[in-house]
Amino acid sequence: MAALDASQFDAEARPAARAASAPPAGSLLRLDQVQAAVVLDKPFRHIVGMNVVDAGQAAAIDRDFPHIRKSGFFVTEDLEDCGPAMRALLDEIAQPEFSRIVGDKLGLDLVGRPQMAMVRKWSGPRDGRPHTDGLDKAATALIYLNDHWDGGAGALRYLEGPDVEGPGTEAIPPTFGVLTAFARSDSSWHGHPTFVGERRVIQLFWMVDEAAAGRKKRRHQRQSFWRFLRPALKENAVTG
């Protein structure tokens, strides 16, 4: 994906909802490829899988990806313009069998845990800084939806500590159908070198309990509100 000027993130407002169209036929999520994901234990338990999304549906998913024009993650249920292919993929990811397979590989019972799905379309200059995830999360899965990727910027690494260039795994290219997931802990450091531009990803959290899910959702809704409000405030300050 091509990089772009970070100023473009604040240049456009929320788009209108897309016109309705028919959902795709057949399954988009390939559970056989999720099952085939490799389990790795260094620097901590994580999995990496390839081709977990049907490549034949790439054009439909690209068409139906929400028209987000801001950096950051957005709660999927708050987005009005997810098309049918994206909705179908999100619905399949939310099914118990996906949780069971990922949980078995991570050594966790994820079936029945509260979930929260989010999507990102744009990566900004502050994104990718190493972190371990908050205490409200039990595990995280990422499914990338970019048609190609060049270089290490924006490519996730699992790390031994808070240094994005420090010891850790090889970079995971965020190309279409790549899955990675990990259990949250105080040592689950992960991040990527700064990339400013289009970087499509679905992020699914399994939360520790319903209260944690509620806190996380409210926090992201507030953040989304301010992201969309900020350009209007800037315009009002200039014209007013």
Written as tens digits, the pLDDT of the chain (240 aa) is 544 443 333 333 334 444 555 656 679 999 999 999 999 999 999 999 999 999 999 999 999 999 998 888 998 887 888 999 999 999 999 999 999 999 999 999 999 999 999 999 999 999 999 999 989 999 999 999 999 999 999 999 999 999 999 999 999 999 999 999 999 999 999 999 999 999 999 999 999 877 766 665 666 555 544 444 444 333 333 333
Q: Name the pairing type of β-strands 115-123 and 179-183.
A: unpaired
Burial 104-119 (b: 16+ CB within 10 A, else e): ebbebebbebbbbbbb
**Cβ within 8 Å of residue 127, ≥6 positions away:** 71, 72, 194, 195
117 strand-pairing partners: 204
| pLDDT tens track for 55-114 | 999 999 999 999 998 888 998 887 888 999 999 999 999 999 999 999 999 999 999 999
Asked if 193 contacts 61 with a C-beta cutoff of 8 angstroms, the reply is no
Integer Cα distance of 153 and 193 in angstroms: 5
At position 74, the amino acid (one-letter code) is F
What are the two backbone dihedrals, phi and then psi, of residue 9, each rounded to the nearest 5 degrees? Answer: -65, -30
Structure tokens at 72: 């950051």
Residue 172 near residue 113, CB atoms below 8 Å: no
Give backbone dihedrals phi and psi of 160, rounded to 5 degrees, phi first: -85, -10
Q: How many CB atoms within 10 Å of residue 164?
A: 17
Alpha carbon 113 to its chain centroid, in Å, reads 18
Domains of the chain: 23-239 (2.60.120.620)
**Amino acid identity, residue 202?**
I
pLDDT of residue 210: 72
> Which of 138, 100, 106, 105 is closest to 216 using CA atoms?
138
Integer CA distances (angstroms), 109 to 5, 156, 180, 209, in order: 42, 25, 17, 13
List 39's β-bridge partners, or say none: 47
Residue 139 CA to residue 116 CA, distance in Å, equals 11
Total-model pTM: 0.82
